[in-house]
Structure 1
Amino acid sequence: MQMGSESTAAAIEDGKQGPLGREEEIERSKVGIMRALVLREDPSSEEVDDLTLRRFLRARDLDIEKASTMFLKYLSWRRESIPKGSIAPSEIPNELSHNKLFMQGADKIGRPIVVGFGARHKHTSLEEFKAFVTYSLEKICARMPGGQEKFVCIGDLAGWGYANSDIRGYLAALSILQDCYPERLGKLFIVHVPYVFMTAWKVVYPFIDSKTKKKIVFVENKKLRSTLLADIDESQLPDTYGGKLPLVPIQDC
């Protein structure tokens, strides 16, 4: 009996038995196949690590063909949108001047916390806004601690009104997040939601993929602090929500 238990344990450990081990082995195998496919189409993909390929695979439910198509589009988008390899603050002065996105602390499982204030969003050029979204996501990903791939976002809509409604901008930001940074968002808390926001939400909602929808939590005002503290220690919670950390603008991170 003891030998059987030991051999079973060993088999599970090296991925030959057990659901988790098999799933990891399947993922590794598919990443290898996907790498060969995309490398044939775009040699620059050689520079991309396996974790990135795995995120695209997971975003497409491990469908190699769909994930490869998505990834190759991403590489093409990156060459066009970030030709210099990064976006300089000097390229997005209007967006940064609104001081609407911040980053500080981490949740209980180590995911960086990002806070965005919807009422501070002003209409600028769509191209500058898309560049700002890309700049911000690049900053967030660069700040990921080792072993972490996702971030948590608090979208604060206090004071949001029709003057802040920007459907084209919202859809563009959603497209960049879902198509170019898949499996990066861990959870989105939407807080201080005014009733008028639901008009814009109904327009945007159909464009949110099913995986992203599961990560979105609308928080009631009376449950705001308790909901956030369930995921974030008080020591890591932004001070604007009664925590200990002052918010830091994304450009200063």
Structure 2
Amino acid sequence: MNNSDTKQSSSNGFEESLSPEEYLNKINEVRTLLGPSTEKSSEYCSDAAISRYLAARNGHVKKATKMLKETLKWRTHYKPDEIRWEEIAREAETGKIYRANCTDKYGRTVLVMRPSCQNTKSTKGQIRFLVYCMENAILNLPDDQEQMVWLIEFQGFNMSHISLKVSRETAHVLQEHYPERLGLAILYNPPKIFEPFWKIVKPFLEPKTCNKVKFVYSDDNLSKTVLEDLFDMEQLEVAFGGKNSDSSFNFEKYAERMREDDLKFFGNTTVSSTSAHFTNSDSEVSDSEKKQLEDKEIIKNGTSESPLDTTNLKPEA
């Protein structure tokens, strides 16, 4: 993308009240306030990107600039673009989040989420996996789209499958660092027990985000039109009322897809040293694996006084 890229996502409505000249002036004001950028950071400061931050802050230049600066700082330290499949593969084993084979009628990437398939307890590991999925979904967006769709399916769900802490951190990361990336979130057949949780989570979300959340029930013909209007039902998974019975999650096939994406977008699938460090500290490991890590650390340090504590390691900045 370059600075002349002014393509907009469908929900960036703040510019509709501005003339084209006023709209471009706001973008240029943000760019001026940001100051000189590195080649790396300029990648995330295109006109389209700045527009999303302006939309998230209702056209307020200084607030949008501050928000974008925080994201650039976060990207420098968290390194979301360096996360590779092999680092987060364990989080993906059950298909709790994956990129669907199909897009919606607008060509937008679709992320399928299944809360009942939660398979780990590490907040950091779960968030890092989510970030990988977001980055991958964005890389797979067509040139004329800035947003994606989430399909959230609740079969087998109970309250033990979700964490308020993870939900709050998820809302923070997505709203602060991926503004205006969500086009629509469809909650498919959420059970009654989900309603109290939704009431708790809702205050953490921007009103604009809440308006993008749609509840769809398989026994409600009116709500089902949300899916029918958005998808080719021949391509949509059977689990969401579609007719495609061949699109259910298969970990081996999905792993192959993600490795191919890593290779296509980054040229290699090697986990960086920072990511490897993060992997050891924040993914759940078995007792035998932890013992092996401890033994390696003891050998490395030449002492047995302080075995490796995998719960307190921090990723390198």
Q: Same fold (TM over 0.5)?
A: yes
Secondary structure of 1:187's counterpart equals strand
Instruction: Give the one of 184, 201, 209 matched to 1:187.
Output: 184
Partner of 1:100: 96
Q: What does 1:55-70 correspond to in 2, within 5 Å?
A: 55-70=52-67
Partner of 1:33: 29
Q: Deviations over 1:175-224 (max 9, x none)?
A: 11111111110001101111111222122110010110110111123136
Q: What does 1:133-172 correspond to in 2, within 5 Å?
A: 133-172=130-169
Counterpart of 2:132 in structure 1: which amino acid? Y
Secondary structure of 2:35's counterpart equals helix
Partner of 1:210: 207
Offset at residue 242 of structure 1 (A): 2.2
Change over 3 Å in CA distance of 1:21–1:200 after alignment to 2: closer
Give yes or no for contact 1:38–1:45 (8 Å, CA) kept in 2. no
CA distance in 2, matches of 1:206, 1:116: 21
Counting aligned pairs with the same residue, the percent is 27
Offset at residue 89 of structure 1 (A): 2.0
Q: What does 1:58-97 correspond to in 2, within 5 Å?
A: 58-82=55-79, 85-97=81-93
Partner of 1:236: 235
Offset at residue 172 of structure 1 (A): 1.2
Give yes or no for contact 1:39–1:46 (8 Å, CA) kept in 2. no
CA distance in 1, matches of 2:63, 2:198: 28
Secondary structure of 1:152's counterpart equals strand
Aligned length, in residue pairs: 233
CA distance in 1, matches of 2:136, 2:130: 10
CA distance in 2, matches of 1:192, 1:53: 36
Offset at residue 225 of structure 1 (A): 4.2
CA distance in 2, matches of 1:195, 1:32: 48
Counterpart of 1:30 in structure 2: which amino acid? K
Change over 3 Å in CA distance of 1:21–1:206 after alignment to 2: closer
CA distance in 2, matches of 1:29, 1:160: 48
Counterpart of 1:36 in structure 2: which amino acid? T
Secondary structure of 1:217's counterpart equals strand
CA distance in 2, matches of 1:94, 1:26: 48
CA distance in 1, matches of 2:16, 2:166: 40
TM-score by length of 2: 0.68
Offset at residue 118 of structure 1 (A): 1.2
Change over 3 Å in CA distance of 1:155–1:23 after alignment to 2: farther
Give yes or no for contact 1:94–1:124 (8 Å, CA) kept in 2. no
Q: Deviations over 1:9-28 (max 9, x none)?
A: xxxxxxxxxx9594433221
Q: What does 1:17-56 correspond to in 2, within 5 Å?
A: 22-40=18-36, 43=38, 45-47=41-43, 48-56=45-53
Change over 3 Å in CA distance of 1:159–1:24 after alignment to 2: farther
Instruction: State the Cα RMSD in Å.
Output: 2.2
Change over 3 Å in CA distance of 1:23–1:123 after alignment to 2: farther
Secondary structure of 2:151's counterpart equals strand
Counterpart of 1:24 in structure 2: which amino acid? P
Give yes or no for contact 1:95–1:124 (8 Å, CA) kept in 2. no
Matched, 1:118 2:83: no
Matched, 1:199 2:196: yes
Offset at residue 119 of structure 1 (A): 0.5
Secondary structure of 2:101's counterpart equals strand
Partner of 1:11: none
TM-score by length of 1: 0.84
Counterpart of 1:26 in structure 2: which amino acid? E
Change over 3 Å in CA distance of 1:146–1:66 after alignment to 2: same
Q: Deviations over 1:62-112 (max 9, x none)?
A: 1000000100010111111117x3201222243112221222212222222
- Flag structure 2 segments of 5+ consecutive residues without an equivalent: 1-14, 259-317
- Flag structure 1 segments of 5+ consecutive residues without an equivalent: 1-18
Give yes or no for contact 2:88–2:125 (8 Å, CA) kept in 1. yes
